[in-house]
Homo-oligomer: A and B are copies of this chain.
Amino acid sequence: MGRCKLCGKEKAEIRLAYARLNLCRTCFTEKFFPNRVRRTVEAYKMFPADASVAVAVSGGKDSAALLHSLREAFPAVQLVAVHLDLGIPEYSEEAERSVEALCRSLNVKLKIYRLKSEEGFAIGDFKATRYGSKLCSVCGVVKRRRLGRIAAELGVDALVTGHNLDDTVESLMATFTAGDFQQLVRLKPVLPAQQPLPRKVKPFYRTPEREAFLYAEFLSLPFSRQKCPYLSGSRSLRGKRLLDLWESEEPGFKYRVLSAFEKLIPLIECSIPQPEYMYCKVCGLPSSQPVCADCRRIEALKSRNAVRT
């Protein structure tokens, strides 16, 4: 690989094929990576440099790299980490240990919300409901709602999540090929606030997953390497694997897909009727239906338990 293209001195250790760039560890972790995070936040006007933001931390590589790089890129931003204990045996315990070590080492305030003690259920309990075959999707709904609510209670300017380039491109492709254009136009790096929920932003929107991993690895950030035991055969994992393969044969493919959708979405936005927002009759939070997706799932859980007892 030769020398680092940025400093010209150190031995390069990372090849970024899409940019034809070889970098050393130091330039990658201290310049290239946090600079892209800063530029992404600024380009999409995610939050001002003195904002207070809640960062969703799962315990994995993405959120570890996110919390660290945000602090590097925006030293004046007030960060609070929010972690959900999903009650997944072993996996959740390991995740929590990682999150605690991470926040301790970065000196970031950590708020942990436990599904089990706060609401009496764990993600695995959905297996027994009609949502059992779509556990990843239920988990997404449950996390989204609680993270939003906690961010609202904390009164932050934005809720920040670690969705990376690979997550985004996979979602775009899957949503597009499903013909779900209503959802497609919502896959943006910034989702506006819906009172009382703050805006949601994705500073890793242009950061490849591999690089988030390398960043966390090079800096020895504490993160959990466990895979969720419920994840096997997930459709999104398969999509990501196929996109990885495509990227390896056509470097820059993921960025090209992202750019194409960024160009496309404004063209179709006006022709796609967006659902009118209302407030959920059960929880009172913004929803596109009379009862929100989260409350419908919790209802399924409760009625299942009622049948059981």
Contact = CB atoms under 8 A, between A and B. Distances in A.
A250 B268 CA distance: 27
Contact of A245 (B242, B257, B272): B242
A178 interface: yes
14 contacts: A176-B264, A177-B253, A178-B260, A179-B259, A179-B263, A181-B264, A242-B246, A242-B249, A245-B245, A264-B264, A267-B267, A267-B271, A267-B272, A268-B268
Interface string A104-143: 0000000000000000000000000000000000000000
A97 interface: no
Number of copies: 2
A181 B266 CA distance: 13
Contacts of A264: 176, 181, 264, 268
A176 B260 contact: yes
Contacts of A177: 253, 256-257, 260
A249 B272 CA distance: 31
Given A176-B260, A179-B259, A267-B271, 20 more contacts: A176-B264, A177-B253, A177-B256, A177-B260, A178-B256, A178-B260, A179-B256, A179-B260, A181-B263, A181-B264, A181-B267, A238-B249, A238-B250, A242-B242, A242-B246, A242-B249, A245-B245, A264-B264, A267-B267, A267-B268
A278 to B, nearest CB: 26
Interface string A235-272: 00010001001100110010011011001100110011
Interface string A262-288: 011001100110000000000000000
Interface of A: 176-179, 181, 238, 242, 245-246, 249-250, 253, 256-257, 259-260, 263-264, 267-268, 271-272
Nearest to A272: B267
Nearest to A269: B267
Contacts of A250: 238
A259 B177 CA distance: 8
Contacts of A249: 238, 242
Nearest to A246: B242
Nearest to A263: B179
A277 B230 CA distance: 57
Nearest to A268: B267
A268 B272 CA distance: 11
- Greatest chain B CB density within 10 A among A176, A181, A263 is at A176
Nearest to A258: B177
Contacts of A259: 179
A268 B259 CA distance: 16
A249 to B, nearest CB: 6
A179 to B, nearest CB: 5
A176 B271 CA distance: 19
Nearest to A266: B271
Nearest to A239: B250
A289 B238 CA distance: 44
A134 B253 CA distance: 20
